[in-house]
Each structure stands twice: as structure tokens, then as C-alpha cells.
Amino acid sequence: MKTEIIDWTGVEAPGGFALPVWLDLLTSGERGMLDAQAAAARRMGFVKISRERLAQTAPAFPGFAAKKPVKRRGAGKPKKGGQGADKVAAGDDAGTPQTRAKLKVDQVQTLYRRGTLDQVHVEAAERIVSVREALGRGLSPGAAQISPRVQGGGAFRDPLQRMSEREMRWWLGEYRPWLADLVSDPIVRVTSRKRQVFGCAIGFTMAVVVENWCLADAEDYCRIPRNMGVGAVLLRIALDRYALIAGLRSGQKINEIAAFERVA
């Protein structure tokens, strides 16, 4: 049996985003438990995780800004005077950023209405968004390392201090184990020609669930086949894994390789 201990200390994601120091987010009791786990891991066989694999978790934390891919030439551009031209003209001035955000279609709800996601997937997505927002509560908008800082007696010291009891439960018991699961056991697609490991699963999920990107944009961002159904399956699997860890769905992991066969 092999054990993986995930520690973000000293790891930086591409673009210079500083990942949270994992130990700074632990309570004293958890640190003692981590020490015991590390000792047990050394006895059973320790599996090292590369910095590259750890950096794949960066999109799951506040401060990480993924650059939305530029739309392909001609994609979504209506013909002059053709159908949809009036809608584009009307949408030229959408008002303030807040107004544009309100007008933007909720991608998760759209995928639910299409039958791509079910109600359990939607609930898992809502918990992911809640934890992500809770982690960023009180932090500066820039990419900053999550660590204690003192600015007077009542100053904000760490994300956990501003989490509700429910958010804390989701963070400790669901969100963190979910990240560790996707890093230590990445989603894999096998075809007759290749074996594709989706190290981008966390980033893909955050792009759709948190950033509200459409599947096609998230597929372009992660450089996976566009509009072939691969992104939809990847999102379902990632949310299924969260649902299993959270107890929203019972049973075991689905056969992920078989899930991709319909789009192979």
C-alpha cells in the first residue's frame, strides 16, 4: 500500500501564482495527525508528487486568474445582416461589469437543463463555488499566498476564521480531499491510439463551475478536443468524484475509461 501526502510548501504554479502553504491551513490537531500519517507513509512507502502535479491545483484557490482563450476566427460571428446581428448590436453596450455578470447565462444550470449534468452534479458544483468564495473572503484580489497577517487586534488572519461552520466542514472534509484525489489519481481517457491523462481536470472544473466559461472555451483552455463531448464527460467525472467524497452520491467511482468510450 502506498500513501501520498500532499504539501504545497514552496510550490509555485505557472505564472508565478503562489500556492497556499498547506500547513498554514491546518489546525494544531490536524498537524499532529499529518505528522502521524507522514510517519506511517515512510513505513509503508512514500510516493513523491512532482511540483508540476501540485501546481495543477492552483486554479482551485483564490488569486489564480486563468486567461480565457481567444475565440477561433469566425467562431460565433454572425453574417452581416444575418440572423443574430440585431442581438449583437443590442449587446454592444451591456452596461457595467455587474450588469454584464447578471446577464451572463449560468453554465452549470444550462448543462443541467440539457441533461449533461444531474441534480447531484449541480449540488457538488454549488459546494465547490461556496468553498472557493470562502477561501477568498477578506483576501486582496491579487495573487497572494494565504498566510497569517496582522493588522491590529481584530484583523483577518486566515481564511478559516471567516468560514461558517458549514463552509469549514466542506473545506476540510470534501474540497481538500477532492483536490488530493484528482492529483493523486488523475482522470484518464484511453482510445485505440493513445492514453490521455487529464491533469487539467481541476482547472477545467473551475473554469466552468467558478468562472462560468462554456464547455468549448474550457476545452480550448485545456487543449482537449472541442465540441466532441470530451469536456462534458470530464466535468461529470470530476463532479461525480466530489459527490462521492461528500456523500451526495453513494457507491464507488464509475468506470471512467468506459465513460469516455461514447466520445472516443
Instruction: Write down the pLDDT at residue 147.
Output: 46
Residue 21 included in any domain = no
| Cβ contact 43:122 at 8 Å | no
Write down the pLDDT at residue 4: 59
Does some domain include residue 39?
no
Domain limits for position 229: 94-263
User: How many domains does the structure of the chain reveal?
Assistant: 1
Residue 46 lies in a domain: no
51 domain residue, yes or no: no
47 located within any domain: no
Q: Is 173 part of any domain? A: yes
What is the structure's pLDDT at 146?
A: 44
**What average pLDDT does the chain have?**
77
- The stretch 107-120 carries a mean pLDDT of 96
**Could you tell me the CA-to-CA distances from 128 to 26, 143, 144, 166, 236 in Å, in that order?**
19, 19, 20, 12, 14
In a domain, residue 242? The reply is yes
Q: Does residue 103 surpass a pLDDT of 50? A: yes
Q: Would you say residue 65 lies in a domain?
A: no
For residue 219, give the C-alpha cell. 476545452
